[in-house]
């Protein structure tokens, strides 16, 4: 099958819009610095394949300097009051809001996101700085009821120290602010290692933090290419000056960081891979379920950790659901993100494009039926892939088990019991979704899904106010909400005796 009526818009061969906030240096101890080696690497626009900018290719020695700067700054930052930290974060938020359009343009340029999605991410990312500017003043301790008359017992919360924030490419602003907002609010200092595909947004955050008056050494950014990423990560994990690691990315890398951090018994927060089920029961409003499926599956071209990965559709409504989701996909426009009518952009790089195509072709060879897509959108560029809908799925197919991270909807015909078995039969447990209008079923399924987050008649669940995180091999800890600061604080017990 072809792509139906999907509209393809030719990717521009040049950037139409000036890309703002471009920096060609990393940010350490309040200074814009090159790599000690003098080496740089290029950042590529995934839509056009053109170079957006060039940044330092840093290694372990540069990382050690950033860690030392953060450790020195911590000696002062940890003594700031909650009110002072709140004010710093609020000023940072105000500057970020002022540069909303600039940040969105930068994200579109380096991550390939459509303009509307980039704007949405900036609002989402900024909301974490705003949220934690307020939560900074609500990190309360406790006064305990003493068992004796001569003692008083108090619990206080203190910052853990320097934290390393290792972030992915798919949300280049939000994955940093969600971590850094909480860390800075708690009184920690940060060394940020952004993904090699999208380091420019991290540097823009540093620039705007500098403009907001963040003290030197409090927020540092180390950039490196892929071949230096392992040694940079190892330096962050093994440094005795680093108290905690917060990582978002693949389960495989998360396990490696977990192992490397064990020598120092560091505080660890991991948000790892997902394999989200999307269940539609026969009582559901199918049109709302389709809208939720589009929002969950095709946001950022399917490249989110909470993207629906397996659509488990009840027998009675299966054919209608497949027909309706294909019809909705046919209204989407794919192309260069700076065209404001575009709703689907490219995959982040050629490796990801090849991976998605391998998974799709494996399914086809093993008997999957193609309703839409199933091939690269070569007329747009080597990183574009047509939105795809597959049915006749069986357990032997890669798409049945693996996180696809692309615009591929895998639809499986199931009963409720079968859907729950398939949904929970995975080592991942980040997010899950289901649509139903059966009230007893709402509670039953929501509690039985083995995931950290559940979307009930809703395909978009992320917000600063909610606790974001998974179970099983999808991670440790929570980000966002008032629980987000807990990852960056120690609870200290103080006992006053002989009173």
- Active-site residues, by number, are 271
Cβ contact 250:59 at 8 Å = no
Secondary structure letter of residue 306 according to DSSP: T
Q: Is the separation of the CB atoms in 434 and 279 below 8 Å?
A: yes
Rounded CA gap, 278 and 296, in Å?
9
Q: From CA 430, how far away is CA 408, in angstroms rounded? A: 19
Structure tokens at 319: 């054919």
Interatomic CA distance for residues 66 and 430, integer angstroms = 32
Q: How far apart are CA 174 and CA 248, in angstroms?
A: 11
Quote the DSSP letter at residue 474: T
d(CA 394, CA 412): 8
β-pair partners for 388: 408
Alpha-carbon span 367 to 389, nearest angstrom: 14
Q: CA torsion angle for 27, 33, 39, 40 (degrees, to 10)?
A: 50
């Amino acid at each position: 099958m072809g792509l139906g009526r999907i509209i393809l818009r030719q990717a521009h061969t040049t950037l139409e819009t000036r890309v703002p906030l471009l920096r060609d240096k990393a940010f350490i101890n309040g200074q814009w610095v090159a790599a000690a080696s003098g080496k740089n690497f290029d950042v590529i626009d995934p839509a056009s394949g053109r170079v957006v900018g060039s940044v330092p290719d840093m290694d372990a020695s540069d990382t050690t300097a950033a860690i030392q700067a953060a450790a020195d700054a911590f000696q002062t930052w940890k003594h700031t009051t909650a009110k002072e930290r709140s004010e710093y974060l609020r000023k940072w938020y105000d500057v970020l809001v002022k540069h909303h359009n600039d940040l969105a343009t930068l994200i579109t340029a380096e991550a390939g996101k459509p303009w509307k999605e980039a704007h949405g991410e900036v609002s989402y990312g900024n909301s974490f700085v705003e949220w934690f500017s307020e939560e900074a003043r609500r990190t309360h301790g406790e006064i305990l009821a003493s068992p004796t008359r001569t003692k008083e017992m108090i619990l206080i919360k203190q910052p853990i120290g320097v934290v390393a924030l290792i972030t992915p490419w798919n949300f280049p602003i939000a994955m940093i602010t969600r971590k850094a907002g909480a860390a800075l609010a708690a009184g920690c200092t940060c060394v940020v290692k952004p993904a090699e595909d999208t380091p420019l947004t991290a540097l823009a955050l540093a620039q705007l933090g500098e403009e907001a008056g963040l003290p030197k050494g409090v927020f540092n950014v180390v950039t490196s290419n892929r071949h230096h990423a392992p040694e940079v990560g190892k330096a962050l994990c093994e440094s005795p000056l680093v108290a905690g690691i917060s990582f978002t990315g693949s389960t495989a890398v998360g396990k490696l960081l977990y192992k490397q951090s064990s020598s120092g018994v560091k505080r660890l927060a991991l948000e790892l891979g997902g394999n989200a089920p999307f269940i539609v029961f026969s009582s559901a409003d199918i049109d709302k379920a389709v809208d939720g499926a589009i929002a969950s599956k095709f946001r950022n071209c399917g490249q989110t950790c909470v993207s629906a990965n397996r659509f488990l559709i009840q027998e009675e409504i299966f054919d209608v659901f497949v027909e309706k989701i294909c019809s909705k996909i046919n209204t989407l426009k794919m192309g260069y993100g700076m065209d404001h009518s575009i709703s689907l952009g490219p995959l982040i790089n050629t490796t990801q494009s090849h991976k998605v195509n391998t998974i799709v072709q494996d399914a086809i060879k093993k008997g999957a039926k193609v309703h839409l897509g199933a091939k690269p959108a070569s007329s747009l560029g080597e990183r574009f892939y047509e939105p795809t809908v597959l049915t006749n799925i069986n357990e032997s197919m890669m798409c049945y088990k693996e996180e696809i991270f692309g615009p591929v909807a895998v639809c499986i015909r199931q009963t409720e019991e079968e859907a729950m078995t398939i949904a929970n039969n995975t080592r991942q447990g980040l997010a899950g979704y289901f649509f139903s209008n059966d009230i007893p079923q709402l509670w039953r399924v929501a509690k039985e899904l083995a995931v950290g987050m559940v979307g009930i008649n809703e395909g978009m669940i992320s917000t600063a106010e909610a606790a974001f995180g998974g179970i099983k091999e999808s991670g440790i800890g929570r980000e966002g909400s008032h629980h987000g600061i807990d990852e960056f604080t120690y609870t200290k017990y103080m006992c006053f005796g002989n009173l």
